[in-house]
Structure 1
């Protein structure tokens, strides 16, 4: 069964089983479609993001529908074509959407420390002899999607900043998801891999070790089309900004949300992501796909 058919079947199964069967959707509310890049497989995506849609539907005059894309470029196309009005993109995919379609960042999630940043991690098996990122010369490495910030762009920058170019590696591959990278390293298929911090921490107890951390990266933005109605933006930002990670009632609301979204949000502006734009220009060959130049 090819990947396209598998994705469609998984997504159909996910959407056929509501997380909250007792909660009827408010049919008379205007629909707002909320896009998300494919950080995990469709079933996991639905489990982690549908509760956010339910919350927004309950707290705003709109009915929010989750729109999961099959890959990163499709998430950008959905926003550009108006299939979605709001989207959770990575920093790199946001850069592409901003440069090509003038997408605007409005919110960024907070981490468990209450700051709007995350990090990229270079991971190895716990029993690996590698102890320094510069020892990756001559080794094999797994990155995430070419459009990913934390599992492709930032790790490339981290390697480059430590004197290790892609040509210095024995070989490298790009896998579809962060989880796929972590599992490939655990299986010993590659010497090292690159994932976002929450995935690295998740798999530490399964036998992974963090070889190197990146500097803090601005949190992945929630972005809108430039013609998204102001009322939609105001309703969304109001509903999410009022959540306080220190409030027990709000903690209960967010506990089933994705790990990147369960600590609240802060306002976002384009200047927050200038550093990402600079990295894309500075690293040889940018993110490796040439779509941001």
Structure 2
């Protein structure tokens, strides 16, 4: 076993232990408050990314907060539909599909790490690929994020259609990947000719620091329209007093506050603001 493998195993075991501890029985009489997280990548990575959210809410509210990270997208839909969570954090398109299961009075728009309520999807390709515009994707292999993602699939699929490309007929093949880092790496390694990622992931990759790939080898050839970032919602069966308590705590989170900056950076968010269900009606696909 290589040193890298040993480090990965150690990190995995540590995270597993943390997950087990988070599932420990609550103190006598204390309700476990379940916060479901949309599994946009591996459950382990999602848990690691958002465990700070559970810690913050537990500390701020005194509640016993438990993250619920399903194994896949279908399991997330099932958990919400069967009242398996009290709150959920998800892609805006996923919220639009499940809106009937949430209380519209307790709805928060998640902000990006830059404090914006919207994000965009972008298409990346290697600079030496000869792909300079959307029309150049004809006959090329492309990788998207999960099929429910507004930025990593839905808006990009529409962008291709607006440029006369049907993904089933005109691409040389396509598949659905996981997180943006994985998509970037696959394009960099020439396993795919192009990929769809979030604009903030592209910006992050171009910032100073260590990265898995050389950003100078890649380029953005097109971008989709701005769409809402993720949505935090209270389940319709969640007690109103509980929903108000959690909402009040989340509204305190602000990337401008040094006390919260570290945790928010790990979660790749900049805070929360009140939202209305009507803001997401047009995101259904």
For residues 87-123 of structure 1, give each alpha carbon's deviation from its aligned partner in whole angstroms, at most 9, with x where no partner exists.
Answer: 1111222222125x45647111112442211111111
Q: Which residue of 2 aligns with 1:270?
A: 277
For residues 115-156 of structure 1, give each alpha carbon's deviation from its aligned partner in whole angstroms, at most 9, with x where no partner exists.
Answer: 211111111124332111121112111112222222111111
- The higher-RCO structure (CA 8 Å, 6+ apart) is 2
> How big is the alpha-carbon RMSD for the aligned residues of Structure 1 and Structure 2?
2.7
Matches of residues 29-48 of structure 1 in structure 2 within 5 Å? Answer: 29-48=30-49
- Number of aligned positions between the proteins: 263
Say whether residues 1:92 and 2:102 are aligned partners. no
- Range with greater deviation from structure 2 (204-213 or 31-40): 204-213
Deviation, 1:201, is 3.0
3-state DSSP class of the match of 1:121? strand
3-state DSSP class of the match of 1:92? helix
3-state DSSP class of the match of 1:157? helix
Contact 1:182 1:203 in 2 (8 A): no
Contact 1:38 1:177 in 2 (8 A): no
Q: Which residue of 1 aligns with 2:59?
A: 58
Contact 1:94 1:103 in 2 (8 A): no
Change (3 A) 1:180 1:114: closer
Cα distance in 2 for partners of 1:125, 1:63 equals 47
Q: Which residue of 1 aligns with 2:3?
A: none
Cα distance in 1 for partners of 2:202, 2:130 equals 18
Gaps of 5+ in 1: 1-9, 281-293
Cα distance in 2 for partners of 1:11, 1:65 equals 19
TM-score of the superposed pair, with normalisation by structure 2: 0.82
3-state DSSP class of the match of 1:17? helix
TM-score of the superposed pair, with normalisation by structure 1: 0.80
Contact 2:54 2:65 in 1 (8 A): yes
Q: Which residue of 2 aligns with 1:27?
A: 27
Change (3 A) 1:168 1:145: same
Deviation, 1:196, is 1.8
- Range with greater deviation from structure 2 (264-273 or 103-112): 103-112
Q: Which residue of 2 aligns with 1:288?
A: none
Matches of residues 1-293 of structure 1 in structure 2 within 5 Å? Answer: 14-17=15-18, 27-28=27-28, 29-98=30-99, 101=101, 104=104, 106-166=107-167, 167-204=169-206, 206-207=213-214, 208-255=218-265, 257-259=266-268, 261=269, 263-277=270-284, 280=285
Cα distance in 1 for partners of 2:258, 2:125 equals 37
Deviation, 1:275, is 2.6
For residues 63-107 of structure 1, give each alpha carbon's deviation from its aligned partner in whole angstroms, at most 9, with x where no partner exists.
Answer: 1101111111211211111221111111222222125x4564711
For residues 189-243 of structure 1, give each alpha carbon's deviation from its aligned partner in whole angstroms, at most 9, with x where no partner exists.
Answer: 1111112223333445623322211121111111222111112211111111122
Contact 2:118 2:226 in 1 (8 A): yes
Cα distance in 1 for partners of 2:182, 2:262 equals 30
Deviation, 1:173, is 1.4
Change (3 A) 1:244 1:92: closer
For residues 28-53 of structure 1, give each alpha carbon's deviation from its aligned partner in whole angstroms, at most 9, with x where no partner exists.
Answer: 53211111111232332222100110
- Range with greater deviation from structure 2 (187-196 or 171-180): 171-180
- Range with greater deviation from structure 2 (117-126 or 200-209): 200-209
Gaps of 5+ in 2: 1-10
